Amino acid sequence: MSFKVAVIGGGLAGITAAIALAETGADVILLEARPRLGGATCSFSRDGLTVDTGQHIFLGCCSAYRGLLDRLGMTGHTTLQDRFDVTVLAPGGRKARLRRTALPGPLHMLPALGRYPFLSRTERASVARPALAMRFVDPADPAADTQRFGDWLARHGQSERTRRALWDLFSVSALNIAGDDASLALAAVVVKTGLLGKNNAADIGVPALPLGELHGDAGATLLGKLGARVSLGAKVSAIEHRAIEPVDGGGFTVKLTDEELAADAVVLAVPHEKAASLMPPGALPEETVAAWSGLGASPIVNVHVIYDRPVMDQPFVAAIDSPVQWVFDRTHISGMDRPGHQYLAISLSAADEYADTPVAQLQEQFVPALAELFPAARDAKVAEFFVTRERRATFRQAPGTAALRPKAATRHPGLVLAGAWTDTGWPDTMEGAVRSGLAAAVELRRTGLSSTATIGERQ
């Protein structure tokens, strides 16, 4: 009899776990409540456009995510920089370029930082101090998670200006929280791995296909080839644990709206709020599950603007001294069939102030803000303006969250957790989600389930 696994949640964590388990011959069913796979990295159609719910990038150091792309056959549908290279714009035509050299890390960024025009000479010289001190910050040390990143930077000579014009460029988008408010432990992962590690660690990768195709469609196709089943619109209402396995081999009962499924194992790969409501009694201490509410949530808002002419000549740019954070050219990836037009998406992390702002007010603010960054936008006509919002895009990656993030294992052998909110050692990112899916599969192997003997050995 084949080993039956129900994977609940079709985001990157669930897709990854389902693939890893199906590759070992397990009988896998992936249950997703939405009508599509991909979780927070999905797409939808709007007036002939394919729109991603949010703009996502990855870095050269994202080994687990890049491994998933390889398994999906999607590596060729992404573009990875040969060197970290970001243009930073500011109102009034001011511009900077941060491009790494071929020097080994952490020396590779020094020439660019030494010329960074948005900081004074004294401020540029001060950047080396926290860069050197960060080598001694252990992200796994609970003490690091009690500190705010901004306070730590200030103690290491970083002025308000330096934190806003330099450090926020990386930390806000990576951690989805105001830079000063981030957990030092999570910020250390970003800085040490991405900025101070190997010289190619921070090279930026961007999708060349809509995320729905890159992750969801490709994931469903691969799972089908592996013999796994994918059930969309499948809302799980409860998970019941059977302490003594019946003759049919089911250790768990997964209850859906109109049916029940028996499974030997369950991977619960949903956001922490939903996971808390589905945990069967005894799986974890009640106080542990209740504490997950302390993880909170932080929104990401994407502002979409279609101009009647090209206004930006690069695939993406960052901005400072502006409400704009990062801007991406979505013209070709969206399949837009409007000759001469350009489709830009502004990605706003830590977007609490914009999560409920009416679209008209956002248009009044961001169209002029883009015109201050791109001279060509001043005479361009806005053909279309719309907004997408992920109000609970990530957990709130503030100090004190490390102790709240659970490991994959529970007290019930065969029931494991996955999701970027779990204890992956990484921030709540695509990389963290994939790592969590692999960890969940590895945990099933660790509990002695013979069908999963090779899970995770390829990573």
Averaged pLDDT for residues 267-275? 97
Q: Tell me the C-alpha distance between 312 and 290, whole Å.
A: 47
Averaged pLDDT for residues 144-155? 98
Query: Could you read off the pLDDT of 13-68 as tens digits, one per residue?
Result: 999 999 999 999 999 999 999 999 999 999 999 988 999 988 999 999 999 999 99
What's the token pair of residue 303?
A: 């502002």
**Phi and psi at residue 85, in whole multiples of 5°?**
-155, 110
Of the candidates 399, 136, 412, 401, the one whose C-alpha atom is nearest the C-alpha of residue 268 is 412
CB 459 within 8 A of CB 66: no
Q: Which domains does the chain have, with CATH numbers?
A: 4-41+210-295+398-452 (3.50.50.60), 104-195 (1.10.405), 298-394 (3.90.660.10)
Q: Which residues pair with 5 in a beta bridge?
A: 28, 265
- Place 125 in a pLDDT band, splitting at 50, 70 and 90: very high
Give residue 247's pLDDT.
40
CB 205 within 8 A of CB 85: no
The average confidence (pLDDT) of the chain is 94
- Place 326 in a pLDDT band, splitting at 50, 70 and 90: very high
CB 239 within 8 A of CB 278: yes
H or E element, residue 339: none
Averaged pLDDT for residues 415-438? 98
DSSP 113-167: HHT-TTS-HHHHHHTHHHHHHGGG--TT-GGGGGSBHHHHHHHTT--HHHIIIII
Give residue 244's pLDDT.
58
What is the crossing angle of helices 12-22 and 430-446, to 10°?
40
Give residue 219's pLDDT.
98
Edge to edge, what strands does the sheet with 236-241 contain? 236-241, 252-256, 260-263
| pLDDT at 409 > cutoff 50 | yes
Q: Tell me the C-alpha distance between 103 and 111, whole Å.
A: 10
Chain-centre distance for alpha carbon 47? 27
Beta strand spans in 42-113 (E): 43-46, 49-52, 58-59, 78-80, 85-90, 94-99
What's the token pair of residue 93?
A: 């035509």
| pLDDT at 1 > cutoff 80 | no
| pLDDT at 452 > cutoff 80 | no
- On the question of a cis peptide bond just before residue 106, with omega within 30 degrees of 0, the verdict is yes
pTM of the model: 0.94
Give residue 107's pLDDT.
87
Averaged pLDDT for residues 426-431? 98
The contacts of residue 264 (CB under 8 Å, 6+ apart) are 3, 4, 5, 245, 249, 250, 251, 252, 414, 449
Give residue 195's pLDDT.
85
Of the candidates 263, 190, 195, the one whose C-alpha atom is nearest the C-alpha of residue 229 is 263
Averaged pLDDT for residues 248-255? 75
**Phi and psi at residue 37, in whole multiples of 5°?**
-85, 165
**Phi and psi at residue 303, in whole multiples of 5°?**
-105, 120
What is the crossing angle of helices 12-22 and 63-72, to 10°?
60
| pLDDT at 282 > cutoff 60 | yes
Averaged pLDDT for residues 144-167? 97
